[in-house]
Amino acid sequence: MFSRLSGICLLTTIALLSGCAPSTQNRLLQEGRSQLDADQIFQAVSGNTLYLEAIDFSSWVHFLDDGRMSAKSRQGSRDTGKWDINSDKQLCMKFNVWYYGDERCFSMVEEGSDSYVLFTTNGARAYSATAGKGDTEKLATAARKKDKTYLREQMAAGQSTADSSQSTPTTPPKAATATRVIPAPPPPPEEIRHTLATMAKNCPNCNLAGADLKGVDLITANLAGANLAGADLSGANLRRANLAGANLAGAILVNTNLPGANLANCNMSEADLTGANLIKANLTGAMTEGVILQGAHLEGVIGLGGGK
């Protein structure tokens, strides 16, 4: 469960707080903002630096023309990796250490002059991005110095390494000391739960499958269309929350407070709502096959039994 939650928090979504909040990708496009095509993404990032900002992680990333990346977080940690653009018009990044080395791809929507919003495949906001021309943080230079000695500039200046070795005795180079890279430890479970709880208050269409949201205060939360399959919402307060069209298949909602909640067209198959408060909740069109309602409070429920 912990590794799965880490994936939710760090791969998609951690950054989903700014991303689940009011501006989902569809909403920005409806407001007339433009999604970048492959050529526009290339022009925006190649040879330039993006400052990526999310709820609990911010970093500068320099995109070298040859497909390499060099990055520095606001906390001072560094990483390198590779970048590319896929056929779905997404910017793909694969760090060597950060995010467990997984490739992560994002569509880019222009928000203003040299500012963009990066969205995950399911349309949730992942990062706010500000573009800077060139290597604003000297990240590529720093990475090169750490890797090895480069001779191109020396040779271009007419200093042949072959001639130098013949005319001047050289001292054998010292063996390079291997740099030990220690991956950052994963965030503790409580930090992940806090991030998810904050994010879930306004996260339509977000992927929160398997999330641990036990006892979380989500009064009037907007989770319309969210994927909450297998999530644990035991004891959570979802009074008057909007869960229309959400996927709650197999979710645990034991003793969950849902009075007045909008559950229209939800997939509640195999969900456990033992002891849940569903007073005056709207279940019109909800799929309730295999749902457990033992001890649930169903006074005034609308549409119960109308789904398949």
Q: Which has more pLDDT, 38 or 165?
A: 38
Digit-coded pLDDT (tens) for 66-99: 999 999 998 888 999 999 999 999 999 999 988 8
What is the structure's pLDDT at 157? 67
Query: With 50 as the cut, is the pLDDT of residue 285 above it?
Result: yes
**Which pTM does this prediction carry?**
0.44
> What's the chain's length in residues?
308
67-73 LR contacts (CB < 8 Å, sep 24+): 69/93, 69/95, 70/139, 70/140, 70/142, 70/143, 71/95, 71/98, 71/139, 72/137, 72/139
Digit-coded pLDDT (tens) for 112-157: 888 999 988 877 788 899 999 999 989 886 544 444 555 666 666 6
**Reported CATH class of domain 208-308:** mainly beta
Residues 141, 68: Cα–Cα separation, whole Å: 13
Burial class (CB in 10 A: 0-12, 13-18, 19+), 272: buried
Query: What value does the mean pLDDT of the chain take?
Result: 81
Other Cβ atoms within 10 Å of 49 Cβ, number = 23
Burial class (CB in 10 A: 0-12, 13-18, 19+), 92: middle
HSE at residue 57, side-chain half, CA atoms within 13 A, is: 24
Phi, psi torsion values for 166, nearest 5 degrees:
-80, -35
Place of tokens 């919003």: 117
The average pLDDT across 100-107 equals 88
Other Cβ atoms within 10 Å of 268 Cβ, number = 26
Question: 227-263: b or e for each residue (b if 16 or more CB lie within 10 Å)?
Answer: bbbbbbbbbbbbbbbbbbbbbbbbbbbbbbbbbbbbb
Q: Would you list the DSSP string of 98-131?
A: GGGG-EEEEEEEEEETTEEEEE-TTS-EEEEEEE
**CATH 2.160.20.80, the chain: domain bounds:** 208-308
Digit-coded pLDDT (tens) for 149-181: 556 666 666 655 444 445 555 566 666 555 555
pLDDT confidence tier of residue 18, bands split at 50, 70 and 90 = very low
Query: The domain 9-140: what is its CATH number?
Result: 2.40.128.640
**CATH 2.40.128.640, the chain: domain bounds:** 9-140
Residues 19, 217: Cα–Cα separation, whole Å: 19
What is the structure's pLDDT at 168? 53
Is the CA virtual torsion 92, 195, 80, 110 positive or negative? positive
The average pLDDT across 273-282 equals 96
Digit-coded pLDDT (tens) for 211-256: 899 999 999 999 999 999 999 999 999 999 999 999 999 999 999 9
